[in-house]
């Protein structure tokens, strides 16, 4: 099957043999795909290699045979803002999340659109990076069929803002008598459900609660970006 001028985002690229790359892309109409980009590491292919950097928006032509296709052309799509600094790390995290959770070959146009919106939000509003990521995690989990109720507990009772809950990956919020590891307030879950950015403490609790859900669906191998984000946080000088 030959595909032409397909909008895509580069999720990951790794060297392959002497002069090629293995590239993972999130396409608009064909979901996540893996392609071999042959001969792109030579000096005459610098522009093509530049287009295949992570988070780049590209238009690609390729031939799909089985699980791994062959790239025939890639060029930069319409320019879009690129996150920098901590927001860039957040973008790489969102990219790895798609890479690990989205199955190959399943058309997921909503996930493609949400990833594009997330990269723009990270670039244009870096002060709200944590909230941007929580919204992307929430939406991606839902798109992939793992969505959980965020306005009621696992038994259908409305959440109480002052109560604490554990976000069970299969059932949803479970009421807890006291704060536990990765527990979160009802107020934080209700804010996430209403798409209203909560305070700093609630954002931290949402991060930990959603990480538990994501880890459940990832299986035994965690995301590499979790370790990188933690390391950068430790190395960052304290605020004055």
Pairing mode of beta strands 31-37, 68-76? parallel
Alpha-carbon span 124 to 60, nearest angstrom? 26
Neighbours of 126 (CB within 10 A): 16
Domain finish residue from 76, 104, 136: 76
pLDDT in tens, 28-67: 999 999 999 988 876 666 667 778 989 999 999 999 988 8
pTM, rounded to two decimals: 0.91
Alpha-carbon span 77 to 140, nearest angstrom? 23
pLDDT in tens, 62-92: 999 888 999 999 998 988 889 999 999 999 9
- The b-or-e profile of 58-93 (16+ CB within 10 A means b, else e) is bbbebebeeeebebeebeebeeeebbeebbbbbbbb
70/144 same-domain check: no
CATH number for the domain harbouring residue 53: 2.40.50.140
Structural domain including 217 reads: 86-235
* pLDDT at site 14: 92
pLDDT in tens, 200-229: 999 999 999 999 999 999 999 999 988 776
49/151 same-domain check: no
pLDDT in tens, 141-179: 999 999 999 999 999 999 999 999 999 999 999 999 876
191/109 same-domain check: yes
pLDDT in tens, 112-142: 999 999 999 999 999 999 999 999 999 999 9
């Amino acid at each position: 099957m030959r595909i032409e001028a397909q909008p895509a985002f580069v999720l990951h690229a790794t060297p392959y043999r002497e002069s090629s790359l293995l590239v993972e892309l999130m396409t608009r109409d064909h979901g996540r795909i893996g392609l071999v980009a042959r001969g792109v590491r030579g000096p005459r292919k610098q522009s093509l290699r530049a287009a295949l950097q992570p988070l780049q928006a590209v238009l690609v032509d390729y031939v799909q045979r089985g699980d791994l296709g062959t790239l025939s052309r890639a060029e930069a799509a319409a320019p879009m803002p690129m996150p920098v600094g901590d927001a860039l790390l957040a973008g790489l995290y969102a990219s790895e999340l798609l890479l690990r959770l989205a199955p190959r070959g399943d058309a997921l146009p909503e996930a493609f659109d949400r990833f594009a919106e997330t990269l723009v939000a990270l670039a244009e509003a870096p002060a709200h990076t944590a909230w941007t990521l929580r919204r992307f995690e929430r939406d991606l989990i839902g798109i992939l069929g793992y969505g959980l109720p965020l306005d009621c507990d696992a038994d259908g009772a409305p959440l109480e803002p002052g109560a604490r809950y554990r976000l069970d990956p299969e059932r949803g919020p479970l009421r807890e008598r006291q704060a536990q590891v990765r527990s979160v307030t009802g107020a934080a879950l209700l804010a996430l459900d209403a798409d209203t950015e909560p305070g700093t403490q609630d954002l931290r609790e949402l991060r930990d609660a959603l990480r538990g859900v994501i880890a459940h669906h990832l299986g035994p191998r965690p995301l590499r970006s979790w370790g990188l984000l933690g390391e950068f946080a430790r190395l960052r000088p304290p605020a004055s």
